[in-house]
Structures are given as structure tokens and as C-alpha cells.
Amino acid sequence: MTAPAVAVSRARRGWRRGQSQGVGSPWRQPLAIVGVGVVVVWTLVALLAPVIAPADPIAQTSPLFLAPGAHHWFGTDELGRDVFSRVVFGTRITLPLAALLVAASMAIGSVLGGLAGLLGGAVDTVIMRIADLVFAFPGIILAMAVTAALGPQLRNAVIAVIIVSWPIYARLVRGLVLSARTSQYVLSSRLLGASSWRALLVDIRPNVAGPVLVMGALDLGNAILLLSGLSFLGLGAQPPAAEWGSMVAAGSINFDKWWISLFPGLAILTVVLAFNFVGDTLRDALDPRTARALRA
């Protein structure tokens, strides 16, 4: 065997070995590793908050406005509460509520979008016009209006964010259903006697699930920002709840005490970036063209 042929053979064996080890997997990319790592860390913080936090997040037992130090790593706030403990316990409010409202928005939007794409006609027109009406307003403005109408509390803030978020999924699912229902495999299923609902649930749903999951992963960061923004404006979590947005608002009042708003702001920043990295990686993993390009 000639030298060029040997080199080509070795290159092919190395490529196959890399394929078997997943070297080109989107989840091996640096941003994906960072995103997954940060999400895992914050999830563990939420689960182990009583163990990690050195003090009660609402206990007013320390001197006011202590700068970060050995006894209070993130300092204390205007009421003498430990900022580190409040940031840690804030994960138990922000992360579960963000996951809950994204799941609810995804479920509502997917059902309505599937109905609009499958049934068409008046059903499609009504659902899409309602979605367009929601899209006509900036998300945070509409969420503020809904929360102000229902009352300033965290439950109403979650409802407001769901109302703002579901049209995104409805429009996405409708477009996917419209393009899939004319595909050959769907038409073949219908010719074999499958009903419209069976075609939607069995044939179309697997092709719709991937983009919807990607949208949900990317929307988690946006949900956290909306919830924190409503709490910052006093329309979400109410005192003495340890919530990151309300903590940033307290720090903005005492602007010279930088630590009060810096650390919860960094928590929001890291979580939102991490979910965006995970969403981008999930999109690359579910897109065959991108996955092949990364492996190449």
C-alpha cells in the first residue's frame, strides 16, 4: 500500500473513532458545556438551599448595610438580612416558576396552534387573530397591564407571563402543522383510514416536538427576565420574599450599597445566559444539517 493510501486509511479510522466517541457532538462544544454546567449548579443550589444558606433569608438579625466580608459573603441589605442567603433561596422561586410558566405556555400554545393548523377555517382565523392581538403589544407592557389588573403578587405575575408567551408557540406549531399535513407520510396515513386527530398525534407530533422543545429552552431565559422585571417594578414577588428581581429593586433604592443589587443581578445574568446556551445547543443537536456540519 502506498504512503498516500496509508494516510487516507488512518484519517478514515481516526474520523470513525471520533464519531464513536462523539467528538463532533454539539453537546461537546464549550458554550454547551458551560450552559449545562451553570444550569446544573443553580439546580443543585435550589435543591440544597437550606443546607447552603448560612442564615434565614428573612431574618433581620445582622447590622444594616454590611459590606461583603467573611461573616456575610454578599453583605447585608437595608433590613439586616444576609444577601447570600436571599440569593440562594431566590433560586427556589425563580427557577421552578420559570419552568412552570414555560411548560404551561408551551402546552396552551401547542394545543391551540395544532387546532388552528389542523382544522383551519374559522378556528384558525380566531386563534391567530387573538395571537396577533397579543403580539401587538410589547411583552413587558402587556404583562404589567395584566398583573396590575389582577393584583400585584407572584401568582398573577406568572399568569401574566403565560398570557404573553403562549402565542409564540401557537404560531410556531401552526406553521409546522400546515407544512406537515401535506407531506406524503401524512397523506398516506389518511388514505389508510387514520382520522385527523390520529394523524396529528401520531404522524405530525414527532416532527413538531423538536422545534417546540428548542423554543421552550430558549424561552426559559426570557421567562426569568419577565418575572424578575415584574418583581423589580413591584408587581411580582412581594416582601419579604427572597426574589432576585425585587432584590435588584431594593439595591437600586440604595444605589451606593452596590452589593445589594449586584449579586442577584449576576444570578439573573448567569441563569439567562446558561439557558440560552442550552437552547442553542439543543437546536444544533436536533437539526441534522448542523449536527453533520459539526461532526465534519
CATH code: domain 25-51+76-295 is: 1.10.3720.10
Tens place of pLDDT for every residue, the chain, 296 residues? 554 444 435 444 543 444 444 456 788 888 899 999 999 999 999 999 999 998 888 888 888 888 898 888 898 988 889 999 999 999 999 999 999 999 999 999 998 998 888 888 898 999 999 999 998 888 888 888 888 888 888 888 999 999 999 999 999 999 888 887 777 777 677 667 766 677 767 767 777 888 888 889 889 999 999 999 999 988 888 888 889 999 999 888 888 888 999 999 999 999 999 999 998 888 888 765 545 554 55
Q: What is the pLDDT of residues 32-81, one digit of tens each?
A: 999 999 999 999 999 999 999 988 888 888 888 888 988 888 989 888 89
Check: CB of residue 260 under 8 Å from CB of residue 254.
Answer: yes
Among 17, 15, 35, 11, which Cα is nearest to 285's? 35
- Residue 86: predicted pLDDT: 93
Q: Give the whole-angstrom CA distance, residue 22 versus residue 19.
A: 5
Which residues does 153 contact at the CB level (< 8 Å), separation at least 6? Answer: 236, 238
List the helix and strand counts (H, then E) for the chain: 13, 0
Domain range list for the chain: 25-51+76-295
What is the rounded (10 degree) CA torsion for 137, 142, 144, 149?
140
Give the CA angle between residues 172, 175, 179 to the nearest 5°.
Answer: 140
Give how far Cα 265 sits from Cα of 25, 83, 143, 251, Å: 32, 12, 21, 10
Check: CB of residue 127 under 8 Å from CB of residue 115.
Answer: yes
- Residue 103: predicted pLDDT: 94
Give how far Cα 79 sits from Cα of 58, 94, 228, 265, Å: 9, 22, 21, 19
Which residues does 44 contact at the CB level (< 8 Å), separation at least 6? Answer: none
195 burial (CB, 10 Å; 0-12 / 13-18 / 19+) is: exposed
Among 227, 105, 114, which Cα is nearest to 168's? 105
pTM for the model stands at 0.82
- Residue 118: predicted pLDDT: 81
- Residue 114: predicted pLDDT: 87
The grid coordinates of residue 71 equal 461573616
Q: Give the whole-angstrom CA distance, residue 105 versus residue 101.
A: 6
- Residue 264: predicted pLDDT: 94
Check: CB of residue 165 under 8 Å from CB of residue 215.
Answer: no
Q: Amino acid letter at 222? A: N
Q: Give the whole-angstrom CA distance, residue 212 versus residue 283.
A: 10
Among 161, 185, 183, 172, which Cα is nearest to 117's? 172
